Chain A
Amino acid sequence: KAGVTQTPRYLIKTRGQQVTLSCSPISGHRSVSWYQQTPGQGLQFLFEYFSETQRNKGNFPGRFSGRQFSNSRSEMNVSTLELGDSALYLCASSLGVEPNYEQYFGPGTRLTVT
């Protein structure tokens, strides 16, 4: 099976712009989770989608949003970018139902905001 893919791998944006990141899960996986990883804050959970519904959400401002399509592919959008949004954004997929909760990660998208 192909692994989790994320596009683009690298992105440079200017403060105030918006950005959309894409994640394609492993075939058959219905759950997609998004994480932000920074040296200072570590790994922080953004949100999780299961069968097109947001099942859980982390403590991030409304500028961060996501969605999931019927084929389980997911997108994450960040509007009005701030310098502090510079991070590695990781996507992970899972079957999402007990007991198959283990998540498999994509290579990440490195976002730099200037």
Chain B
Amino acid sequence: AQTVTQSQPEMSVQEAETVTLSCTYDTSENNYYLFWYKQPPSRQMILVIRQEAYKQQNATENRFSVNFQKAAKSFSLKISDSQLGDTAMYFCAFIDSNYQLIWGAGTKLIIKP
């Protein structure tokens, strides 16, 4: 069965620090897509970053970057220079040929002033 595991239920860091959120997944497919989504207290789910499994280069979006280790089935999210507005639930997810997003349980990230 395809699964996504986020082992950190909650994390907190000081503003301007760097934080890394962990995610591991399990799939037998070779072609799939990985995502990090953010859900702030307002509840709107927002796409943060995506990674294609066939690409070796790690994706980056401004302060957000991933460390994608395909063999280890690991997909961590690094947030640099964290800001108060980064406070949210962060979900790791992947999609394959079944067109279904498989979600992790989420990590609650708190940025402290």
Contacts and interface: CB of A to CB of B under 8 A. Distances in A.
Contact of A42 (B46, B47, B99, B105): B105
B33 A102 contact: yes
Contacts of A55: 99
Interface in A89-108: 90, 92, 96, 99, 101-105, 107-108
Interface residues of B, number: 20
A45 B43 contact: no
A58 B44 CA distance: 22
Q: Is the interface of A mostly helix, strand, loop or mixed?
A: strand
A75 interface: no
Given A99-B33, A99-B52, A43 B47 contact: no
B43 A107 contact: yes
B61 to A, nearest CB: 12
Contacts of A33: 100-101
A92 B100 contact: no
Contacts of B33: 99, 101-102
A42 B103 contact: yes
Contacts of A108: 43-44
A45 B91 contact: no
Nearest to A45: B100
Interface of B: 33, 35, 37, 43-47, 50, 52, 91, 95, 98-103, 105-106
10 contacts: A43-B91, A45-B101, A48-B100, A88-B43, A96-B99, A101-B33, A105-B44, A105-B45, A105-B46, A107-B44
